Amino acid sequence: MMEARTFTILSSTGESFPCRADESVLSAMRRAAAGPIRYGCFGGGCGACKMQIVSGSFSVFKPMSRAHVSPQDEQNSIVLLCCILPLSDLTLAEV
Ligand code: FES
């Protein structure tokens, strides 16, 4: 089996951490203990992990609660980190 590719995520706190192409950015962030670590449900419902992706590309693999991410937010790359997979290196920012 091929190893999943690994990308580098730069967090809003200036820390960087590795994230495999097949894991959510939130899971990788939690494993690396890179801040800011905010999470609740891990399922796209609570909104705790909301951040903006300011560079790089990603895919949404789980539905994000519309109560926390509006269509306009989504257009501005505001996402729930538990719902996205990296497709490249990413840079995160607070919203
Ligand atoms: S941890 Fe609840 S929405 Fe991401």
Contact 52, 77 (CB under 8 A): yes
CA angle 45, 46, 50 (to 5 degrees): 100
Asked whether residue 1 is domain-assigned, the answer is no
Positive or negative CA dihedral for 55, 39, 8, 21? negative
> Could you give the CA distance from residue 63 to residue 33 in angstroms, rounded to a whole number?
25
- What per-residue confidence (pLDDT) applies to 64? 97
| 18 within ligand 1 shell (Cβ under 6 A) | no
Q: What are phi and psi of 78, to 5 degrees?
A: -90, 125
User: Ligand 1: distance of its center to the CA of 1 in Å?
Assistant: 30
Quote the number of domains for the chain. 1
Q: Which of 92, 70, 95 is nearest to 26 (CA)?
A: 92
Q: What is the pLDDT of residues 1-46, one digit of tens each?
A: 667 899 999 999 999 999 999 999 999 999 999 988 899 999 999 9
| 60 within ligand 1 shell (Cβ under 6 A) | no
Looking up residue 74, the CATH number of its domain turns out to be: 3.10.20.30
User: Ligand 1: distance of its center to the CA of 42 in Å?
Assistant: 4
| 63 within ligand 1 shell (Cβ under 6 A) | no
Containing structural domain, residue 70: 6-93
Residue nearest to atom 3 of ligand 1 (CA): 44
- What per-residue confidence (pLDDT) applies to 46? 98
Q: What is the pLDDT of residues 63-83, one digit of tens each?
A: 999 999 999 999 999 999 999
Asked whether residue 56 is domain-assigned, the answer is yes
Asked whether residue 20 is domain-assigned, the answer is yes
Q: How far is CA 53 from CA 2, 3, 57, in A?
A: 27, 25, 8
- What per-residue confidence (pLDDT) applies to 35? 83
- What per-residue confidence (pLDDT) applies to 1? 62
User: Ligand 1: distance of its center to the CA of 19 in Å?
Assistant: 17
